[in-house]
């Protein structure tokens, strides 16, 4: 990501424009323990990733981002995501462009996120441009938010 984009990325949920219907609901979460896993879907450039970072700031937790179009397979899920998800501490794991992940990787994630909600203080945020490429078992285990075109 360019340094310019990072510099001017919204810092708080109040800085996110055009997605009031999503922001209003996200503001109700006061801690990561209350937060479900999330699926943010919508066109490129509507603020999905920026909202994930702003939510992490709102909750006072660390965010770890992976671009799922680069890291698509089951080995990535087993090695990197599982390790982070089940390690100590509070964190959000952002899987950007999760619609590019393989079906096999998504199925592995499904089992992990079920356990993580019960056993850890980590949550996963999936972002997707094409939600039809996300397997239904992921949808059913996440709170889904549609981001409107700006």
Q: What is the per-residue pLDDT across 88-105, written as a single tens digit (0 to 9) for each?
A: 999 999 999 999 999 999
Listed in order, strand segments (DSSP E) in 43-147 are 62-67, 91-96, 122-128, 142-146
Between 40 and 32, the higher pLDDT residue: 40
Between 75 and 60, the higher pLDDT residue: 60
Reported confidence tier of residue 7, pLDDT bands at 50, 70, 90: confident
- Identify the pLDDT of residue 107: 92
- Identify the pLDDT of residue 15: 96
Average pLDDT over residues 105-116: 91
Average pLDDT over residues 42-52: 97
Where is average pLDDT lowest: 52-61, 77-86, 130-139?
Answer: 77-86
Among 82, 128, 54, which residue's Cα sits nearest to residue 139? 128
Average pLDDT over residues 73-91: 89
Reported confidence tier of residue 77, pLDDT bands at 50, 70, 90: confident
Is residue 56 a contact partner of residue 26, using CB atoms and an 8 Å limit?
no
CA distance 60 to 56: 6
Where is average pLDDT lowest: 34-43, 64-73, 118-127, 137-146?
Answer: 64-73
Phi, psi dihedral angles at 126 (to 5 degrees) = -100, 135
List beta partners, residue 40.
Answer: 127, 145
CATH class of the domain comprising 3-146: alpha beta
- Identify the pLDDT of residue 74: 83
Reported confidence tier of residue 1, pLDDT bands at 50, 70, 90: low
């Amino acid at each position: 990501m360019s340094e310019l984009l990072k510099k001017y990325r919204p810092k708080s949920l109040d800085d996110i424009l055009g997605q009031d219907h999503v922001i209003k609901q996200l503001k109700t979460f006061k801690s990561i323990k209350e937060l479900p896993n999330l699926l943010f879907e919508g066109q490129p450039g509507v603020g999905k990733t920026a909202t994930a970072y702003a939510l992490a700031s709102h909750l006072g937790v660390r965010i770890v981002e992976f671009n799922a179009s680069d890291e698509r397979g089951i080995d990535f899920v087993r090695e990197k995501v599982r390790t982070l998800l089940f390690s100590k501490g509070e964190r959000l794991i952002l899987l950007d462009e999760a619609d590019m992940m393989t079906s096999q990787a998504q199925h592995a994630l499904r089992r992990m996120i079920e356990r993580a909600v019960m056993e850890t203080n980590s949550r996963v945020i999936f972002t997707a441009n094409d939600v039809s490429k996300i397997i239904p078992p992921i949808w059913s285990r996440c709170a889904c938010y549609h981001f409107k075109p700006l």
